[in-house]
Structure 1
Amino acid sequence: MRRVTAMTRALLPPVWRSLPRRALAAAAAVGLLLAAVPRLQSGPPDPLVGLYSLRAAALVLALGLAFLLDDPARHITSAVPVRRPVRVALRVALVAPWAALTWTTALLLVPESSRPPAGALTLEAAATAVLALAAAALSIRRTRTTEPGAAISTWLLATGVTAALLLPPDWTLFVTPDDPHWHSTHDRWTLLLIVAAALAARSVTEPLRGRPFRRPSPEPL
Structure 2
Amino acid sequence: MREARRGVLAVQLIRPVARAVPWRALVAGGVPGLLAAALPRLAGDDVTPWAGVTALRAAALCGALGAAFLLDDPARRTTAAVPVRRALRHALRYALLVPLAAAWWTAALLLVPQEARPPAGDVTLEAATALALALAGASFAVRRRGSGRPGQAVAAALVVAAVLAPLLSPPHWALFTVPDDPRWADGHGHWTLLLCAALLAVAVCCAEPVRRRTLRTLRSPSGTSGPSRG
TM-score, length-scaled by structure 1? 0.93
Aligned partner letter, 1:134: A
Aligned: 1:93 with 2:95: yes
8 Å Cα contact 1:140-1:207 kept in structure 2: no
Identify which of structures 1 and 2 has the higher relative contact order when contacts are C-alpha pairs closer than 8 Å and 6+ apart.
Answer: 1
8 Å Cα contact 1:54-1:121 kept in structure 2: yes
8 Å Cα contact 1:143-1:207 kept in structure 2: no
Deviation at 1:62, TM superposition (A): 0.7
- Mapped partners of 2:154, 2:172: distance in 1: 27
Q: How many residues end up aligned between the 2 structures?
A: 220
Match of 2:68 in 1: 66
Residue from 123, 126, 131 that aligns with 2:125 = 123
- Mapped partners of 1:168, 1:214: distance in 2: 47
Q: Which structure has the larger Rg over C-alpha atoms?
A: 2
Match of 2:44 in 1: 42
- Mapped partners of 1:101, 1:88: distance in 2: 21
SS at match of 2:44: coil
Aligned partner letter, 1:33: L
Aligned partner letter, 1:155: A
TM-score, length-scaled by structure 2? 0.90
Unaligned runs of 5+ in 1: none
SS at match of 1:41: helix
Deviation at 1:160, TM superposition (A): 1.3
Deviation at 1:79, TM superposition (A): 1.5
Match of 2:156 in 1: 154
8 Å Cα contact 1:32-1:57 kept in structure 2: yes
Sequence identity, in percent?
Answer: 50
Q: After superposition, what is the alpha-carbon deviation per residue over 1:125-172, rounded to whole angstroms, capped at 9, x for unaligned?
A: 001110110111011111131110010011011011100123242234
8 Å Cα contact 2:49-2:179 kept in structure 1: no
- Mapped partners of 1:154, 1:45: distance in 2: 31
Distance 1:143 1:208, change over 3 A: farther
CA RMSD of aligned residues (A): 1.7
Q: After superposition, what is the alpha-carbon deviation per residue over 1:18-45, rounded to whole angstroms, capped at 9, x for unaligned?
A: 1111111111110000000111223423
SS at match of 1:42: helix
- Taking the TM superposition and a 5 Å limit, the aligned residue runs for 1:1-221 are 1=2, 2-207=4-209, 209=211, 211-216=213-218, 219=224
